[in-house]
Chains A and B, each alone.
Chain A
Amino acid sequence: DGGITQSPKYLFRKEGQNVTLSCEQNLNHDAMYWYRQDPGQGLRLIYYSQIVNDFQKGDIAEGYSVSREKKESFPLTVTSAQKNPTAFYLCASSKDRDLNYGYTFGSGTRLTVV
Chain B
Amino acid sequence: AQTVTQSQPEMSVQEAETVTLSCTYDTSESDYYLFWYKQPPSRQMILVIRQEAYKQQNATENRFSVNFQKAAKSFSLKISDSQLGDAAMYFCAYRRRNNDMRFGAGTRLTVKP
**What residues of chain A have their CB less than 8 Å away from a CB belonging to chain B?**
33, 35, 40-45, 48, 58, 88, 90, 92, 97-98, 100, 102-103, 105, 107-108
Question: A97 contacts B98, CB within 8 Å?
Answer: yes
Q: Is the CB of B47 closer than 8 A to any CB of chain A?
A: yes
* Pairs of residues from A and B, 8 with the lowest C-beta to C-beta distance, nearest first: A105-B45, A42-B103, A43-B103, A42-B105, A102-B47, A100-B33, A108-B43, A102-B35
Q: How many contacting A-B pairs (Cβ < 8 A)?
A: 50
Question: A48 contacts B42, CB within 8 Å?
Answer: no
Q: Is the CB of B52 closer than 8 A to any CB of chain A?
A: yes
Question: B52 contacts A100, CB within 8 Å?
Answer: yes
Question: B42 contacts A107, CB within 8 Å?
Answer: yes
**What residues of chain B have their CB less than 8 Å away from a CB belonging to chain A?**
4, 6, 9, 33, 35, 37, 42-45, 47, 50, 52, 91, 93, 95, 97-101, 103-106
Question: A42 contacts B91, CB within 8 Å?
Answer: yes
Q: Can you report 8 A-B residue pairs in the complex whose CB atoms are below 8 A from each other? A: A42-B103, A90-B45, A92-B45, A100-B50, A102-B50, A102-B95, A107-B42, A108-B43
